[in-house]
Amino acid sequence: MSVRELLPFFKWGFSLRRSNFLVPALSSDVIVTGEEAVGFEDSSRREVIANAANLNPAAASKPNPIDQAISLLTNAEIVSRVVNGSIPQYKLESELNDCTRAVEIRRQVLERALEHEVSLRSLPYDNFDYSKVLGACCENVIGYIPIPVGVAGPLLLNGTNVTIPMATTEGCLVASTHRGCKAITESGGCHASIIGRGMTRAPVVRFPDSRRATDLVHWINEPVNFEICKRAFESTSRFARLSSIKPTIAGRLVYLRFKSETGDAMGMNMISKGCEKVLEMLQTPFPEMEVIALSGNVCTDKKPAAINWIEGRGRSVVCDVVITGHIVEKLLKTTVKDIVELNQSKNLVGSAMAGSVGGFNAHAANIVTAVYIATGQDPAQNVESSNCITIMESFNDGKDLYISCTMPSIEVGTVGGGTFLPAQSTCLDVLHVKGASRERPGAHADQLAKVVCGAVLAGELSLMSALAAGHLMRSHMSLNRTKAAH
């Protein structure tokens, strides 16, 4: 099969049939579900594309005569061919063997489709290495969005100063987090600990009746059978370490929530491969088992869910600090009594009255998302990663302030996803967590999760102080309003 014949599969992916067997993936590193494209194993995207076509990367870069002929056409001629359907848009990069030119042509096609009513001139596209994006991060590319990146800190975290990169368009956010970092550092620094670790995926399977569904639950719960599943699961990766499988039954449906350590990768691809292997193995003792989907939403990924709040997902982290009363008054411009009372009324009682799940905080999602975008994480996972309870108490007979943030489901990785892109990789380097840890797999992702929790602690401290002092609107009016003419 040629590269050009193969590319449509990379575009549309592969689906899992609702049958007793999983459709074999083209490569062991390709898994796609009906819910989402799980994609390629974190550390081997580029090799997969080449190996799947029985090519090496050097050979893949050489255009064949057909590609060469197309590349000799003018941009206008190629645009016409795309418009009439003779060249699919998603094939432009492979046909031209020039990613930037492909983007230029795709922009012209879009402007033509919009009848030139919209100009893309303000959407930049040049000076970007699109070869790093191809087959990995984005499809049908027309440019990129520049997002300002600021830094907060240094934050004294576990005895070490860290500077926190934050990508955001919200005025005050970086400045406020920076103020919180200063208050924490001048009070002697905060401490963060990992209290749980493990990415989850929950396939859903179906049986003819509830009796056989129950049989699977009992079978999984037998220690000897779990070990069989564990061996199958861990055979798919050097870093996967299966810690549990928790079955949930609904009639004749069974949801199997797998939980596994995944090294320095965020781990969705890794754990999905392991789940697929176990499901294949389970067809022997349970031949009537029908696989409905590799993800049955009990995972739960990118959706609010009490299960992540209670049982954790990714890294579970707690971070705390005692802020001296002097700093509360001089730097944060409030009092211990006022900020503790506000936290009780707002973050605890107010969130409870709203029926919140994991939202017992002021604005954890703000900081999580800004750090995620800067460091190449999946920003959609801020939904569960922002689960946080902020606790404030008077300390040392009311003289000082104790504050903690507990975050049970921070989902981060330092390899895979967008972490290898140059800008995001640089931000990881600022934090000294770029790539995989050679000394201890998972150490870099652990540290990034601690940084996220520490940054949230700083953001919570500063915003709550501003609210207690009545300064919130004043700062937003001065920093969060554009000076440009409308």
The residues annotated with a catalytic role in the active site are 170, 302, 378, 476
- Could you give phi then psi for residue 398, rounded to 5 degrees? 85, 0
- Could you give phi then psi for residue 484, rounded to 5 degrees? -75, 150
Nearest partner of 60 among 69, 68, 51, judged by Cα: 51
Looking only at the bridges linking them, the beta strands covering 359-360 and 253-261 are: unpaired
Answer whether 331's CB lies under 8 Å from 182's CB.
Answer: yes
What string of DSSP letters covers 50-62? HHHTT--HHHHTS
Long-range contacts of 48-51 (CB under 8 A, 24+ apart): 49/10, 49/135, 51/27
- In this structure, which amino acid lies at residue 109? V
From CA 44, how far away is CA 448, in angstroms rounded?
A: 22
Dihedral class, residue 353 (left if φ above 0, else alpha if ψ from -120 to 50, else beta) = alpha
Residue 392, token pair as written in the block: 């404030």
What string of DSSP letters covers 274-334? HHHHHHHHHTTT-TT-EEEES--SSS--SS--HHHHHH--EEEEEEEEEE-HHHHHHTS-S
From CA 104, how far away is CA 390, in angstroms rounded?
A: 48
From CA 108, how far away is CA 366, in angstroms rounded?
A: 36
DSSP character at residue 379: G
Nearest partner of 449 among 405, 486, 481, judged by Cα: 405
Residue 240, token pair as written in the block: 């996967």
Residue 79, token pair as written in the block: 């645009």
Nearest partner of 301 among 272, 261, 264, 274, judged by Cα: 272
